[in-house]
Amino acid sequence: MTRVLVVDDEPQIVRALAINLKARGYDVDTAGDGTAALTAAADRHPDVVLLDLGLPDIDGVEVIKGLRGWTRIPIIVLSARHASAEKVAALDAGADDYVTKPFGMDELLARLRAAVRRAVPEEEAPVVVTDSFTVDLAAKRVSRDGADVRLTPTEWHLLEVLVRHAGRLVSQRALLQEVWGPQYGTETNYLRVYMAQLRRKLEHDPSHPRHLLTEPGMGYRFEG
Amino acid sequence: MTRVLVVDDEPQIVRALAINLKARGYDVDTAGDGTAALTAAADRHPDVVLLDLGLPDIDGVEVIKGLRGWTRIPIIVLSARHASAEKVAALDAGADDYVTKPFGMDELLARLRAAVRRAVPEEEAPVVVTDSFTVDLAAKRVSRDGADVRLTPTEWHLLEVLVRHAGRLVSQRALLQEVWGPQYGTETNYLRVYMAQLRRKLEHDPSHPRHLLTEPGMGYRFEG
DNA sequence: TCTTGATGTCAAGGGCGCGTCAAGAAGGCA
DNA sequence: TGCCTTCTTGACGCGCCCTTGACATCAAGA
């Protein structure tokens, strides 16, 4: 799913954008100022950023430069300023597109699709290796002893969340909400069933897991 | 030097753009209608296209589709039409940006720089070979046991997307949006029908595919 | 040793996603 | 206009995946 980071200091605009984007199947993160935007971008690795230029703390162009210091993800600027100089500055700082407010939602969504479409797929280190299995996050495939292991969608989703937080503890609540949806949070029996299945498919000794670890009372942890 | 193809049916606009671009060190080709634009693009291999939508012979969106059939060079649409639907149609057809007339030259140049900057260096399309069929992405042809296989446009498009992501899983949503358009995403029955047709035409044993694989609940994968 | 709460294991059913087939609709071409 | 190809849509059955409940196991504390 495409992840969008919406940056604007006006909550109602953020809310309106978030609702529209989620309705179209996008995954939405939000930030209310430049600092939060830079943190969220580093944290959540969005696929595209919608950036308002008029932020309370940092100038929007500086946010663009900050992002461009380490990533080439598409940045679409939203701004009430029509001045040519503003547009040139933002585009030359590294923005991909510049949309002036007020804008039509249809047009914005089309520009968003265009930006995502031409984006170079981010190739981070998507392959995680342990001594008993290998997880390729980009290709969505898991292999063990050279042979591919078939995972069901839920099994894969759960494994993916754990691997993306490799080494860190992920609470049961966080796992449930990420994999099953925000309205879940207490159905820990799901986790028990699926963790057992993952261990059976991936661990050499499923009853003494070395990579898919339980932290009793807290959650689970993937150890590389 | 960056080569720009300017397409517009009004000579004075072409001239004004050409002068400005040449003054900035761009190499400029021009075309006055859609046919000439397609020919010039194939002939001269520009690095970016400035395309007016209101051409006398072919609809601008058709020109975009024609170009996108074989190249991903940036296309910036220039148009007097402000209607949202026009913009959406052009962007979804494959345009990278949409600038409404009248536009500021500074802004256009900035958008031009942005488009060129993020352009992916053109890589030639390779030939993908499996033990039962061969896909030539550049020539848009598929052969099996030495003989060409006829694919319908949709079949080809679907196969192309899968082959370009060889080895990686492509989600049903991504496939639908890429082949049928961004407003699709849930019509998985299309995928079932067309995957079955591709398998029937390309796989030795269509009911046990070895290259066009289903990942239940997640998507499809082409395996070389 | 017993109790308690949390985790691991197993099996069964119901639902739904997928493959398959075929007919109707739409579009291109003579 | 009429034919042919291609795309869309519906129906159906099979198999698999998710869910759920029951029970076993384990660790910690009294």
Q: Which nucleotides of C are covered by protein (CB under 7 A)?
A: 6-11, 17-22
Q: Mind listing the pLDDT tens digit for each residue in A12-41?
A: 999 999 999 998 889 999 999 999 999 999
Chain A residues within an 8 Å CB radius of B182: 110, 113
Both structure tokens of B199: 């398998």
Quote the crossing angle between the two packed helices B188-202 and B153-164, to the nearest 10°: 90
How crowded is residue B32: how many other Cβ atoms within 10 Å of its Cβ?
19
Both structure tokens of B98: 């949409």
% of chain A with per-residue pLDDT over 70: 98
Given this model, what pLDDT does residue A149 score? Answer: 96
**What CATH topology corresponds to B127-222?**
Arc Repressor Mutant, subunit A (1.10.10)
Q: Mind listing the pLDDT tens digit for each residue in A152-171?
A: 999 999 999 999 999 999 99
DSSP code, position A224: -
Q: Which nucleotides of D are covered by protein (CB under 7 A)?
A: 5-11, 16-22, 27
Residues A135/A128, Cβ–Cβ less than 8 Å: yes
Strands (E), B8-165: 27-31, 48-52, 75-79, 97-100, 127-129, 134-136, 141-144, 147-149
Give the three-class secondary structure for B57.
coil
Q: Which residue has the tokens 């968003």?
A: A112
Given this model, what pLDDT does residue A125 score? Answer: 66
If pLDDT is split at 50, 70 and 90, which confidence band does A124 have?
low
Residues in chain B, total = 224
Q: Of B104, B221, B126, nearest to B165 (Cα)?
A: B221
Given this model, what pLDDT does residue B82 score? Answer: 87
| B113 vs A191: CA distance, rounded Å | 50
Q: Which residue has the tokens 């597109």?
A: A97
Q: Of A30, A88, A85, A41, nearest to A63 (Cα)?
A: A41
Q: Which secondary-structure segment (H or E) carries A144?
A: strand A141-144
How crowded is residue B1: how many other Cβ atoms within 10 Å of its Cβ?
7
Each residue's pLDDT, cut to its tens digit, for chain B (224 residues) gives 899 999 999 999 999 999 999 999 999 999 999 999 999 998 899 999 999 998 988 889 999 988 998 889 999 999 998 899 999 999 999 999 999 989 999 999 999 999 999 987 777 668 999 999 999 998 899 999 889 999 999 999 999 999 999 999 999 999 999 999 988 989 999 999 999 999 999 999 999 999 999 999 999 999 98
If pLDDT is split at 50, 70 and 90, which confidence band does A188 have?
very high
Q: Which of residues 191-220 of B touch strand C (CB under 7 A)?
A: 191-193, 195-196, 199, 206-207, 214, 216-218
Mutate to test the interface with A, among B168, B176, B184, B186 (most CBs of A within 10 A): B168
CA-to-CA dists, residue B116 to A115, B2, B4, B151, angstroms: 14, 8, 10, 34
Residues A6/A50, Cβ–Cβ less than 8 Å: yes
Chain A contact residues (CB < 8 Å to B): 1, 25, 72, 84-85, 87-88, 91-92, 94-98, 104, 106-107, 109-111, 113-114, 117-118, 120, 138-141, 152-153, 156
Given this model, what pLDDT does residue B1 score? Answer: 84
**Inter-chain contact B106–A120, Cβ cutoff 8 Å?**
no
Taking the alpha carbons at both ends of chain A, their separation in whole angstroms is: 25
Residues A6/A27, Cβ–Cβ less than 8 Å: no
Give the three-class secondary structure for A114.
helix
The amino acid that residue A99 corresponds to is V
- Give A151: exposed, middle or buried? Use CB within 10 Å, 0-12, 13-18, 19+: buried
Determine the nucleotide nearest to B217 by Cα–C1' distance: C17
Residues in chain A, total = 224
- Ordered by start, the domain boundaries in chain A are 3-118, 127-222
Model pTM score: 0.85
The amino acid that residue B21 corresponds to is L
Given this model, what pLDDT does residue A70 score? Answer: 87
Q: Buried b vs exposed e over A106-126: b needs ≥16 C-beta within 10 Å?
A: ebbbbbbbbbbbbbeeeeeee
Determine the nucleotide nearest to A208 by Cα–C1' distance: C8
Topology alike, domains B3-118 and B127-222: no
**Beta-bridge partner residues of A27:** A3
CATH of domain B3-118: 3.40.50.2300
Mutate to test the interface with B, among A61, A72, A96 (most CBs of B within 10 A): A96
pLDDT at A116 over 80: yes
DSSP code, position A137: T
If pLDDT is split at 50, 70 and 90, which confidence band does A123 have?
low
Q: Of B94, B81, B29, B16, nearest to B55 (Cα)?
A: B81
Given this model, what pLDDT does residue A212 score? Answer: 97
